Amino acid sequence: MRIGVPKEIKNHEYRVGLVPSSVSELVARGHQVLVQRGAGAGIGLNDSDYQAAGAHLADDAAQIWTDAEMVVKVKEPQATERRLLHEGQLLFTYLHLAPDPEQTRDLLAGGATCIAYETVTSPSGGLPLLTPMSEVAGRLAPQVGAHCLEKAQGGRGVLLGGVPGVAPAEVLILGGGVAGSHAAAIALGMGADVTVIDRSPEVLRRLYQQFGTRLRTQHSTRDAIAQAVARAELVIGAVLVPGAAAPRLVTREMLGTMKPGTVMVDIAIDQGGCFETSRPTTHAEPTFVVDGIVHYCVANMPGAVARTSTFALNNATLPFVLALADRGWRRALQDDVHLRAGLNVHAGQLTCRPVAEAQGLEWVSADGLFG
């Protein structure tokens, strides 16, 4: 199979779809890999590293999109990239379609087969290709939140861990899944006073077993969230409904009860955000203020630590890339129900129910097509 790796063009996105060691694995199995020049430069991977692994270099992205049977990326294709997709081509990347009707329309019109990292499942019920980036985003959230709490950044001027004689900041984490639990670990390590709210008793029990009484846990209700955000100085939104738009848990009205300069970090922004006042931002302009509350809503948070993120992501994606290349995507989808769950778009048809429900579109089951 001819596999293409274009350079990412989203704002301040330095991750890359395949690292040289992944290229080497594909080449050893007889596949051809075409990598755009400079694709890995942002994380210290030189063109010569890719050539040594057996890749061919392309001078521009157009060559990648024209020649490749499968395109492996990190972020969703931008508008200029979507125009280059063509019928019969396979796209393997993060898509996050539920809050993005424009991208959905373009992918349906393009006729390509699009598999989204974030909806591939595992036998245990997890999301193995979303997990590494959720881990990174969760660990980043207290770090960026602490920075935004500095007075010069518009925050309350509060040190997350406090000092002897001065109380630490109160951190509220909405959602105790992968991102939320990693955020809790870092916030506790920084000395903050941390509460996690989740609707699942099993999640709350797991958090108690993991952190003990250092971490406060609370069952999720509207009243519980409203009371907790009024106390907090840093709110981290880490809720996830796989493939679907994130629920809006913090309303505009609640902002009026919060302390001026409180910071809200919305990890769920890729799926539309879990704060009513959220809108996507970039690493170039990461924050905005609504009613005195600082919002950090960067839609590619893990790109801030692009080298760590790229290698973590490749560790997870490589087995699936190999399966798609070795068997061909049709056979790979037939053989693996968990990879098949990642199929979002095929030949002008939407195959992901949560996306269809979020946008009021018709859909067909991937199981019916390839099961």
The residue type of 71 is: V
Residue 270 falls in the annotated catalytic set: yes
Closest CA to 149 of 192, 178, 195: 192
Q: Which of the residues 31, 96, 182, 346 is marked catalytic?
A: 96
Closest CA to 171 of 208, 247, 156, 340: 156
Closest CA to 349 of 23, 109, 18, 60: 109
CB-CB neighbours of 85 under 10 Å: 21
Find all residues with CB under 8 Å of 315, minimum gap 6, and list them: 132
Residue 198 falls in the annotated catalytic set: no
162 burial level (CB within 10 Å; 0-12, 13-18, 19+): middle
What whole-number distance in Å separates Cα of residue 371 and Cα of residue 355? 20
**Dihedral class, residue 291 (left if φ above 0, else alpha if ψ from -120 to 50, else beta):** left
Q: Which of the residues 100, 106, 270, 336 is marked catalytic?
A: 270
Q: What is the torsional sign of CA 224, 225, 231, 236?
A: positive
- Which tokens hold the place of 333? 């989808």
State how far Cα 233 lies from the chain centre: 24
- Cα torsion through 150, 151, 154, 158, rounded to 10: 50
Helix, strand, coil shares of the chain, percent, nearest 5, are 45, 20, 40
Tokens 């430069």 — which residue?
41
Find all residues with CB under 8 Å of 55, minimum gap 6, and list them: 5, 20, 23, 27, 33, 34, 35
Tokens 């935004």 — which residue?
148
Residues marked active site are found at 96, 270
